Structure 1
Amino acid sequence: MVDKKFDKIYGWLFILPVFILAVVFFLIPAGMSLMLSFKEYSLLDSQGMFSAPWVGLNNYKEVFKDEIFFKSLKNTVIYSLGVVPTQLMIALGLAIICNSKIRNKGVLRTVYYIPTVTSAVAVSIMFLFLYKTDGLLNKFLGLFGVEPIGWFNSPVFALPSMMSLAVWSSVGIYMVIFLAGLQGISPSLYEAAEIDGASKFEQFLYVTLPQLKHVLFFNLVVSFIGTLQVFDQAYVISGGTGGPLDSTSTVVLYLFNSGFRDFKMGYASAIAFVLFGIIFTLTMIQKFLFKESD
């Protein structure tokens, strides 16, 4: 009995540092942000956030009337719908390759994973050089007679170019998770399918995908949350402006500019909780759909 009592105490002592960090750096800031979303507060105000006047739901009403917010939300949704399926399909394909019986699989896994651990700012700067008018991409296309394109200076090509950056830089992490899922599938399932005369494609369709369903759900949710919160790539590529013509403005970038450029911290906090509501709703919908398919 004494040993069990001390086990509980040791357990709480082990999680205490993480609990304190969560309270200090997550719960308290989230609570203060929620409070600010109902206030009119600027970083330039000398009265402090606790003395700032309450405005009720006015900040939220302003969000739903803001054309730039909806343009940023539209860009973010397009970005998510383009990046998520693309990177998950590529990640699954790379995981299948790395799980097959080929030589130097360890080298391939390392090569595919390296972009994931590279700084997002460094990757964005690299793509700025690759995609500029006299960059490597335009020089390659010039071999086929294609005129140089200012990829990140064009309202048409800026967002798709940023999407390609995101796919390249983040596909490795999802590949590793898919690879773990593939290695957890029993070989006997493939042997049974092969005895029944199933082709490789049929084995993938009726064995691999069903066994990876929960891994796919995890990757889908994490990927959607990550893309809906995209900030660093958009900030570096547009210089923090969201240009050209707000074509690379995302919700988090607009939130950042509202709070730290326009000093409207109450309004920025309202945007943050609107985004939280969108992400939470989409996550619950995905969870419901995958649960229904069970």
Structure 2
Amino acid sequence: MSASRTAAAGSRRGKRPPAARLPAEPAAGRAGRQRWYAPWTYLAAPLVLLVLFTYIPVVNMIGYSFTDWDGLSPDRNYVGLRNYVDLFTRPRLFQVFAVSLFYLAGAMVQIVVALYFATVLSFDVRLRNLFKGILFFPYLVNGVAIGFVFLYFFQPGGTLDSLLGVFGVGPRLWLGDPDLVNTSLASVSVWRFMGLNLVLFIGAIQSIPPELYEAAELDGANRWQQFRHIIVPGIKPIISLSVILAVSGALAVFEIPFIMTGGSNNTETFVIQTIKLAFNFDKVGLASAAAVVLLLVVLLVTWLQRLLVPDERGELS
């Protein structure tokens, strides 16, 4: 009763009773609602670039693969699956995949060598930072420059022949002999891209807790046993990633054979052949179909590898 009389008295004096206040919203919830868009603000620029320079060109390429466009004419006649039928009825268009086997073998050698150096340089070795820089440096050099450098390295009477001449080995046609040319080009890829795998492996090895090495040394484990039972299981996802990059890279080799041989002398890769179809023979539609086939092959190989070798993080204890 007293409360009602007070309210009535206040209303007679021209004053309204105070309104009931809702409980204050927690600051964390308010900030969460206000900042839900913050991650998308940072992701906006890379997402826009990804869509503009990756997904839209891929969609356009798929569209071109169903036309007979020559790359210059404004007319693009729809031909359906004729380009794909043309591809699969020309065995020579797929024979170039045999050249990729040389680069795939070189990539496997590259992974093994990079893993060896990464393991050695992850432990306490004198001048290890210097050696890391020396091994990683080739990856920083432009591929065109590397191609021209190795043209002089492999030429008759060049650097390689001079070095081998010290051991009594005669000169060879490293880029002219069909039995040697693809091996020579694949060795250049090993030299150039080993630094990338080296950095990946070193980063993964250094993420392994050092207590595991100390416990293994107390148990009498040598370096090989530590490598086999600690390092390999601990960096298994990175090894799997390197294999995927090696397979996709072997299928899409372009720079080194194009600069050094132009695809001649049985060194033509699938990508070089696609470039020639588009720019030498003005068959952009057929070249687009070839690019779509290469994309599907890379995706299929990656999926099969994921299926056969699941990406499981090694359990270290």
TM-score (norm 2): 0.85
Q: Sequence identity of aligned pairs in percent?
A: 28
Once the two structures are TM-superposed, the CA of residue 165 in structure 1 deviates from its matched residue by: 0.3
Taking the aligned partners of 1:166 and 1:44, their CA distance within structure 2 comes to: 35
- Partner of residue 65 from structure 1, selected from 86, 89, 104: 89
Moved more, 189-198 or 163-172: 189-198
Query: Aligned residue for 1:232?
Result: 255
Partner of 2:245: 222
The answer to whether residue 294 in structure 2 is matched with residue 266 in structure 1 is: no
Alignment partner of 1:74 is 2:98: yes
Q: Output one character per residue of 1:214-261: Cα deviation in whole Å (capped at 9) or x when no partner.
A: 1111111122222221111111011x3x111xx211111111111111
Give the Cα–Cα distance (whole angstroms) in 2 for the partners of residues 98 and 32 of structure 1.
Answer: 46
Deviation string for 1:74-109 (max 9, x for gaps)?
1113322x1221110111111112112111111111
User: Alpha carbon RMSD of aligned pairs, Å?
Assistant: 1.7
How many residue pairs get aligned? The number is 285
Worse-matched range after superposition: 5-14 or 131-140:
5-14
CA distance in 2, matches of 1:111, 1:145: 29
Name the stretch that deviates more: 138-147 or 208-217: 138-147
Question: Separation in 1 of the partners of 2:170 and 2:128?
Answer: 39
Aligned partner of 2:257: which letter? A
Structure number with bigger Rg: 2
Distance in 2 between residues matched to 1:212 and 1:195, nearest whole Å: 22
1:117-175: CA deviation from partner (whole Å, max 9, x where unpaired)? 00011111111100000211111222333221121122111110000000001101110
Counterpart check, 1:30 vs 2:53: no
- One-letter code aligned to 2:95: K
Letter in 2 for 1:32: N
TM-superposed CA distance for 1:61, in Å, is 1.5
Q: Does 1:156 align with 2:179?
A: yes
Matched residue SS, 1:155: coil
Letter in 1 for 2:56: I
Report the residue type matching 2:306 in the other structure: K
- Detail structure 1 runs of 4+ shifted over 6 Å in the superposition: none
Scaled by the length of structure 1, the TM-score of the pair is: 0.91
Match of 2:269 among 225, 243, 250: 250
- Residue 289 (structure 1) aligned with residue 308 (structure 2): yes
Q: Which amino acid aligns with 1:201?
A: W
The letter of the residue matching 1:134 is G
Alignment of 1:4 with 2:42, yes or no, is: no
> 1:56 — aligned with what?
80
What pairs with 1:172-187 in structure 2 (closer than 5 Å)?
172-187=195-210
- Within 5 Å, give how 1:112-191 maps onto structure 2: 112-191=135-214
1:20 and 2:39 equivalent? no
List runs of 5+ in structure 2 lacking aligned partners. 1-28
Instruction: For 1:35-46, list aligned pairs within 5 A.
Output: 35-45=63-73
Question: In structure 1, what is the equivalent of residue 216 of structure 2?
Answer: 193
For 2:208 and 2:37, locate their aligned partners in 1 and report how far apart those are by CA, in whole Å: 38
| Contact 2:108–2:246 under 8 Å retained in 1 | no
Aligned amino acid, residue 100 of structure 2? T
Return the offset for 1:265. Answer: 0.6
The answer on 1:277 being equivalent to 2:296 is: yes
SS in 2 for 1:94: helix
Distance in 2 (CA, whole Å) between partners of 1:96 and 1:125 is 32
User: In the aligned structure 2, how far is the partner of 1:278 from the partner of 1:159?
Assistant: 22
Report the Cα distance in structure 2 between the residues aligned to 1:270 and 1:237, rounded to whole angstroms.
26
**Alignment gaps of 5+ in structure 1:** none
SS in 2 for 1:41: coil
Greater share of residues in helix? 1
CA distance in structure 2 between the partners assigned to 1:77 and 1:183 by the alignment? 32
User: Which residue identity does 1:289 align to in structure 2?
Assistant: L
